[in-house]
Structure 1
Amino acid sequence: MKQRTRQIACYVPAQTADAFAQYARAHGTSISIALSMLIEQVIAGKPLANDQVDPRTLFIETAVDALLGKHPDKALRAYTHEVYRDRLREAGLTR
């Protein structure tokens, strides 16, 4: 059976790895997905700085919001947004 995905590995300086992890977190995704998107953009000949919405990320955001909206503990949604704002602030993305 043909594999749908394959692993690509590379070694980078610790500072580069940390910076890329921060980049992925700031964009609300994993290192793996962020790196995959960058590779796909390069192969497609697109510039690396691309602000397009990732459909997978949009689905996850929508699903989480829907689940929180229907959760019996209505305070959970507000708490989640509060934690999210705190993390954005910690990452230096908001004040």
Structure 2
Amino acid sequence: MTRPICLQVYISSELSSLIRKAAKAKGISMSEWVRALLANACAEDDLASRLDTSIERISRRSVFLMVGVDALLAGHPDHALRGRAHQAYARKCKELGLSTSAGEGGSDEA
């Protein structure tokens, strides 16, 4: 096991009291409490970064699918099908409590 490294920070006496009380309530030392807090903060930051990347990838794929489906509907022999699909989309969004906007499945596309 490697030797722990000392990390020194300056905090107010009020914050020190809060940390002391929080650590005491958990039955651990102040060092253990701060160490756990820092480890959790670093882990959450990494998780947030991966989540942002996943959301961006899903958003790009959703836009591609939306444009592709709208183009297929626009070229379909039944010209009313596209309008019915947009109406069904609006109904489903309303049913789910989601807002619809012109940029998301609006009839002005393709």
Task: Give the TM bin, normalised by the shorter chain.
Answer: 0.3 to 0.5
More contact order relative to length (CA 8 Å, sep ≥ 6): 1
Which of the pair has more CA radius of gyration?
Answer: 2
So what's the TM-score if we normalise by structure 1? 0.45
So what's the TM-score if we normalise by structure 2? 0.40
